Structure 1
Amino acid sequence: MAIGATIHTFTVNLADVDRGVYEELTLRVAQHPSETLAYMMTRVLAYCLEYEEGIGFSEGISSVDEPAILVRDLTGRVTGWIEVGAPDATRLHYGSKLADRTTIYTHRDPAKVVIPWAGKTIHNAEAITLHSFDPGFIEDAVAALERRSTMTLSVTEGQLYLELNGTHLSSAVHQHPIQ
């Protein structure tokens, strides 16, 4: 954990009907001093939406060599490279070469996120998907955050339903090709 980090605890009831994933999770998330709540909330949602065996938060903002979330197989090989926010093209290129699959979740305007990638070399770019949420969704979720949060997250037919500390929110999970 980062020095000076704020620790958030999430008790999550996850029901991802689209992928057949049903889990109860307890997540201890260290919010780096330079990390916004919107970024952290997107990171938590990305973790839940990508949940599978071997998933884990990386050093994230503290590390230039890792994405926010990694998925490793039993041998330690990276199988999933999951970025949050607006990573640069070099990082996406590296992650896409290293992992079987690469994906991005953003709390920003996706049209603006992809602009710096235009004309840059990104390995297997056609297989990388940028995910975003409805405008205002992340901000509303941040408003409901507490240091200890209880959350129920359901996903069905690309629609996300979130109950966070008694606040009910929903959003489509939008998918954008990066090229």
Structure 2
Amino acid sequence: MALKATIYKAQLQLSDMDRNVYADHNVIIARHPSEADERMMIRLLAFALNVPADDNKGKLDFAKDLWDVDEPALWHKDYTEQILHWIDVGQPDDKRLMKAAGRAEKVSVYSFASSTPVWWKNIETKLTRASNLVVWQIEAAESQALAKLAERSMQLQVTVQDGTVWMSTAVGSVEITPRRLTAGD
């Protein structure tokens, strides 16, 4: 018998001063049995950093990347099913990223392992044609601290200002400063 996803719920209160996005979101996250708290929380961080100000061009949704290799961690599709934004977390290979760059208007990657510099050095030159790709590095210490905030039911306050993110719950608070590794749009 296959293991089933564990459902996590987050009430996300977002104040993104960099993008002028202020909203509350009730988020349901299906956590794959093989997924760690750290990766799940990075997906939640990616949601907060990329959720559009309104749904005029569709919604940003959690996808099934761990169940279906043809899907990212999150994606923003318009109402015609065109992929506007493909968002991966971790260290996807260059072939996956080039394929995503051909399918979506914009591709973002949030890499959070301490091995990110080695991974990036090995694939950076293979991705020069993907002008719509942006890769972000989250320091391992920050992502590990973020993982400690994970609970089955969370109330998260997310504040973004000058490229720095503060995520806090009743359990604690974490400061995250994503570092851009690419020069894409």
C-alpha distance in 2 between matches for 1:38 and 1:112: 20
Aligned to 1:37: 37
1:80 equivalent among 42, 62, 85: 85
- CA deviation after TM superposition for structure 1 residue 178, in Å: 7.5
Q: Secondary structure at the match of 1:63?
A: coil
C-alpha distance in 2 between matches for 1:118 and 1:19: 28
Mapping of residues 42-57 of structure 1, within 5 Å: 42-52=42-52, 53=55, 54-57=59-62
Aligned to 2:12: 12
What is the TM-score normalised by the length of structure 2? 0.88
Q: Secondary structure at the match of 1:165?
A: coil
Aligned to 1:117: 123
The question of whether the paired residues in 2 share the 8 Å contact of 1:69 and 1:81 is answered with yes
* Residue 145 of structure 1 pairs with residue 150 of structure 2: yes
C-alpha distance in 2 between matches for 1:165 and 1:8: 16
The question of whether the paired residues in 2 share the 8 Å contact of 1:125 and 1:178 is answered with no
- CA deviation after TM superposition for structure 1 residue 164, in Å: 2.2
- CA deviation after TM superposition for structure 1 residue 77, in Å: 0.6
Runs of 4+ in 1 over 6 A off after TM superposition: none
Unaligned runs of 5+ in 1: none
What is the TM-score normalised by the length of structure 1? 0.90
C-alpha distance in 2 between matches for 1:114 and 1:161: 25
Worse-superposed segment, 110-119 or 50-59: 110-119
Aligned to 1:105: 110
Worse-superposed segment, 2-11 or 154-163: 2-11
The question of whether the paired residues in 1 share the 8 Å contact of 2:77 and 2:84 is answered with yes
C-alpha distance in 2 between matches for 1:124 and 1:99: 14
Identity of aligned residues (%): 25
C-alpha distance in 2 between matches for 1:118 and 1:174: 15
The question of whether the paired residues in 2 share the 8 Å contact of 1:96 and 1:124 is answered with no
Aligned to 2:172: 167
The question of whether the paired residues in 1 share the 8 Å contact of 2:105 and 2:132 is answered with no
- CA deviation after TM superposition for structure 1 residue 47, in Å: 0.9
Q: Secondary structure at the match of 1:14?
A: strand
